[in-house]
C-alpha cells in the first residue's frame, strides 16, 4: 500500500528497522510529512502506525527534527497526546512551542513538568494563553522570583485569590512583584490598598489613579491600623505619648516609607521620627537623637545612607532636623551644603559597615571623635 510519494508502509517499516542515523532522519521526516499532509486522509490504523513510529523515534533523531515536529504539533488541537507529552518533556529548545501553545497538554501534565523539569520549562508555561488556578499554584510553589514575576505579568493567568493575597504580602520584600501585581485586572482594591503603604511614591500615585481609593480613606485606614496594633481607644489613645510603641506598630503594619519619615518630621513628630529611624537602623534611640542634634550632621548622613535613603529625601530630613533644634536653625546654607557633599562622597557599603560598628558599640563614635584632635597634632606656632 503506497503511503506517499511512492513509498509504501512496508518500506516505512523497513526504514524503522534500520538503526542508522540517516535512515532514522529519513523515516522521521517522511512520517511527519505523511502525518501532517492535509490532502491525505489516513485510516485509523495508518494514523496509529504514524504515531507509534514517531514515538519510537523521538529520542533517536537529532534535535532539529524533534524541534520541527514540536512546531508542527504545537498548534494542533487533535495532536496525539502521548507524542505531545514526550515533546513537552524534551530539551527546552524542543519543548518550548509545545509548552507555550499546545492545548493538548492537561493540568496534571503541566504540573508534573513544573515540578520536575527546568527553570526554562517553567518560564515557558507562564507564557501560555490560558493558565488554570492549579497550574498557577504550582508555578508559585517554585518560589522562583523570575517564574512568579512572569506569571503575574500574564493577564490570562487565573491566579486564585488566596495566592494573590500571599504574593501581595511577599511584595513587601520582593519589589519586582509590585508592578505586575498592580497592573493585574483581577487585583482587588483591598489588596491594592494594602500595597499602597510599602510601594514607591510613583506606584502609590498609580494605585490612587487606578483603584477607587480615597486619600482620606487611606488616612483613616492608617489610624485604624495604628490603633489596632497598639490596642488603643478613646481619649487614652494619644499616639504621641508612646513614640517607641507607635514606631513598632507602624513598622509592623508596613506603612513606613522614606517619604513617610519626612511626613512625620514635617508634622513635628520628632520623637516618633527618632524612634522610627532607630528601629530602621538597628540603633539605640538615644544615639539617633544625638545624631539628630549634633552640629555636623555627618552621623545622620551615614545612618540615612546605610539604610538606602535617597539624597533628596535626606536633604529634606536634614533641613527639617535643623529646624527641630532648640532655638531653631543654627547653621546656614553653607553647613547644609557641606553635609550634603559629605553624603555624596559616602559609599553605601562603607556606611553600612560603619552602622554595624555602631550597632555593636555605640561608643565607637565617641572614640573616633576623641582621636580626631590627636590625629591633627598640636597647633602650629
Three-point CA angle 71, 135, 207, nearest 5°: 105
Only one residue has cell 493585574, namely 184
7: helix, strand or coil: strand
Where in the chain are the domains?
Answer: 214-251, 256-381
DSSP state of 235: G
Strand ranges (E), the chain: 2-4, 7-8
Q: What CA–CA distance (Å, rounded) separates 106 from 109?
A: 5
Q: What CA–CA distance (Å, rounded) separates 93 from 49?
A: 26
Q: What CA–CA distance (Å, rounded) separates 240 from 246?
A: 8
pLDDT tens profile 351-375: 898 888 888 876 665 555 544 443 3
pLDDT of residue 347 exceeding 90: no
Confidence of residue 69 (pLDDT cuts 50, 70, 90): confident
Q: What CA–CA distance (Å, rounded) separates 61 from 204?
A: 54
Average pLDDT of span 105-123: 97
pLDDT tens profile 222-278: 555 555 544 544 444 444 457 888 888 888 777 788 878 888 888 778 888 999 999
Cβ proximity of 362 and 284 under 8 Å: yes
Residue 2 phi/psi, 5-degree rounding, is -70, 140
Confidence of residue 116 (pLDDT cuts 50, 70, 90): very high
| pLDDT score recorded for residue 128 | 97
| pLDDT score recorded for residue 120 | 97
Three-point CA angle 105, 110, 115, nearest 5°: 160
pLDDT of residue 328 exceeding 70: no
Amino acid at each position: 500500500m503506497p503511503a506517499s510519494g511512492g513509498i509504501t508502509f512496508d518500506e516505512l517499516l523497513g526504514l524503522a528497522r534500520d538503526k542508522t542515523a540517516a535512515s532514522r532522519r529519513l523515516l522521521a521526516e517522511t512520517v511527519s510529512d505523511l502525518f501532517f499532509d492535509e490532502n491525505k486522509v489516513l485510516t485509523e490504523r495508518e494514523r496509529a502506525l504514524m504515531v507509534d513510529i514517531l514515538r519510537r523515534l523521538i529520542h533517536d533523531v537529532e534535535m532539529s527534527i524533534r524541534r520541527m515536529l514540536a512546531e508542527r504539533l504545537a498548534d494542533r488541537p487533535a495532536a496525539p497526546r502521548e507524542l505531545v507529552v514526550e515533546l513537552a518533556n524534551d530539551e527546552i529548545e524542543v519543548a518550548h512551542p509545545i509548552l507555550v501553545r499546545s492545548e493538548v497538554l492537561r493540568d496534571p501534565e503541566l504540573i508534573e513538568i513544573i515540578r520536575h523539569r527546568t527553570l526554562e520549562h517553567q518560564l515557558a508555561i507562564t507564557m501560555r494563553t490560558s493558565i488554570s488556578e492549579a497550574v498557577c499554584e504550582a508555578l508559585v510553589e517554585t518560589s522562583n522570583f523570575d517564574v512568579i514575576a512572569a506569571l503575574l505579568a500574564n493577564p490570562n493567568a487565573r491566579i486564585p485569590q488566596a495566592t494573590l493575597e500571599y504574593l501581595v504580602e511577599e511584595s513587601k520584600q520582593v519589589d519586582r512583584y509590585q508592578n505586575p501585581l498592580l497592573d493585574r485586572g483581577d487585583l482587588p482594591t483591598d489588596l491594592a490598598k494594602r500595597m499602597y503603604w510599602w510601594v514607591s511614591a510613583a506606584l502609590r500615585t498609580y494605585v490612587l489613579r487606578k483603584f477607587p481609593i480615597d486619600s482620606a480613606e487611606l488616612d483613616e485606614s492608617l489610624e485604624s491600623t495604628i490603633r489596632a496594633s497598639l490596642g488603643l481607644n478613646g481619649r487614652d489613645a494619644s499616639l504621641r505619648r508612646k513614640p517607641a510603641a507607635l514606631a513598632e506598630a507602624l513598622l509592623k503594619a508596613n506603612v513606613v516609607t522614606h517619604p513617610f519619615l519626612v511626613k512625620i518630621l514635617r508634622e513635628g513628630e520628632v520623637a516618633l521620627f527618632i524612634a522610627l529611624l532607630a528601629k530602621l537602623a538597628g540603633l539605640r534611640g538615644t544615639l539617633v537623637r544625638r545624631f539628630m542634634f549634633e552640629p555636623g550632621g555627618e552621623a545622620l548622613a551615614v545612618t540615612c545612607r546605610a539604610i538606602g535613603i535617597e539624597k533628596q529625601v535626606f536633604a529634606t530630613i536634614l533641613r527639617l532636623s535643623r529646624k527641630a533644634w532648640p532655638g531653631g536653625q543654627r547653621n546656614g546654607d553653607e553647613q547644609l551644603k557641606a553635609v550634603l557633599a559629605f553624603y555624596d562622597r559616602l559609599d553605601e557599603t562603607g556606611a553600612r559597615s560603619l552602622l554595624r560598628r555602631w550597632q555593636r558599640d555605640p561608643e565607637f563614635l565617641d572614640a573616633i571623635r576623641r582621636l580626631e584632635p590627636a590625629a591633627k597634632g598640636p597647633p602650629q606656632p
